[in-house]
Amino acid sequence: MGNFFGTGSNYNDTENANEENFEIVLTKDAIDYAVDSLAEEINDDYADTKGLVLVCVLKGAVPFMIDLSRKITVPHEHRYITAKSYLDTESTGDVQIISNEPLNIYDKDVIIINDIINTGLTLNTLVKKIREEENPKSLECCVLLNKSSKRKYDVDVKYYGVTIDDEFVIGYGLDCNEKYRNLPYIAIMEPTTLTSSSDDGDDSKDGDYIPDPNEKSDSE
Ligand code: IMP
Ligand code: MG
């Protein structure tokens, strides 16, 4: 991925970010390339589907889901579901799933769309719950980013975009305390930025992962 590295020089919110702390791991072009490839695979695999549904895991997967959906030529529907798994800097070891409306995906071909897989807890829980409660015809997972070194829970992810190192990343939907989701690229945040950017810890409300800067690479 060496040719995708760069600097975050087009981010000007100096109140919220120190751009010197951003190291870009995926440029917008690299993201587009990954999204195009995934859409191509999905278009091939679901060419004969009688009903495809994309289930977006809020909030981080929103930009990915929308970009991917626009590239999927097979007719499909959208659903949205929230998964909460972290409280402050700790994983609760439990994922709370919130759905504002019935998924209504019985007998459909379903793909869960998430921004990133880390321990696998979020997707492992979602897959089990959707299989048991919704009885779709088929169920697959699609993630843009894969942190394979941190996997603790078994999940069968059919569609991976890019495998990244074990770093906390932001941008393109991924947040740190609700900030940086709007960045058009995906970048690494240094631990110094992580601690200084904490605001009200409100991220626990949407289940997003809040990094522990002191966390060792093999513990969670
Ligand atoms: P898992 O349940 O440990 O696989 O974590 C998946 C969830 O944690 C994702 O849906 C994200 O919300 C969040 N997450 C994991 N790693 C990162 C990261 O590097 N940046 C931002 N959010 C992350
Ligand atoms: Mg998130």
> Ligand 1 centroid vs 148 CA: distance in angstroms?
12
Strands 109-117 and 52-58: parallel
> Ligand 1 centroid vs 107 CA: distance in angstroms?
29
Dihedral over Cα of 64, 70, 75, 81: its sign: positive
> Ligand 1 centroid vs 48 CA: distance in angstroms?
32
Q: Which atom of ligand 1 is nearest to the CA of 118?
A: 4
Buried b (16+ CB within 10 A) or exposed e, 175-198: bbbbbbbebebbbbbbeebbeebb
Closest residue by Cα to atom 12, ligand 1, is 208
Count of alpha carbons within 13 Å of 111, Cβ hemisphere only? Answer: 29
pTM of this structure: 0.82
CA gyration radius for the chain? Answer: 17
Q: Which atom of ligand 1 is nearest to the CA of 176?
A: 21
- Complete DSSP assignment for the chain: -GGG-EE-TT---TTT--GGGEEEEE-HHHHHHHHHHHHHHHHHHTTT-S-EEEEEEETTTHHHHHHHHHH--S-EEEEEEEEEEEETTEEEEEEEEE-SS----TT-EEEEEEEEESSSHHHHHHHHHHHHHH--SEEEEEEEEE-GGG--S----SEEEEE--S--EEBTTB-BTTBSTT-SSEEEE-HHHHHHT--S-GGGGGT-----TT--TT--
**First-last CA distance in the chain:** 26
Q: Give the pLDDT of residue 197.
A: 39
Peptide bond into 59 cis (omega under 30): yes
Distance, CA of 20 to CA of 135 (rounded, Å)? 48
**Residues contacting ligand 1 via CB (< 6 Å):** 57, 60, 85, 114-122, 168-169, 174, 208-209
> Ligand 2 centroid vs 12 CA: distance in angstroms?
22
Q: Give the pLDDT of residue 176.
A: 86
Under a CB-based contact definition with an 8 Å cutoff, are residues 29 and 3 in contact? no
Q: Give the pLDDT of residue 206.
A: 41
Pocket test for ligand 1, best of 174, 177, 188, 215 (most atoms within 8 A of CB): 174
Q: Give the pLDDT of residue 20.
A: 52
> Ligand 2 centroid vs 47 CA: distance in angstroms?
30
Please provide the size of the chain in residues. 220
Pocket test for ligand 1, best of 65, 163, 208, 219 (most atoms within 8 A of CB): 208
What is the chain's pLDDT, residue by residue, as a tens digit (220 residues)? 333 444 444 444 434 444 556 899 999 999 999 999 999 999 999 999 999 999 999 999 999 999 999 999 999 999 999 997 765 444 667 888 999 899 999 999 999 999 999 999 999 999 999 999 999 999 999 999 999 888 999 999 999 999 999 888 999 999 888 889 999 999 998 755 544 433 333 333 344 444 443 343 332 2
Which residue in this structure is represented by tokens 């495809």? 52
> Ligand 1 centroid vs 47 CA: distance in angstroms?
31
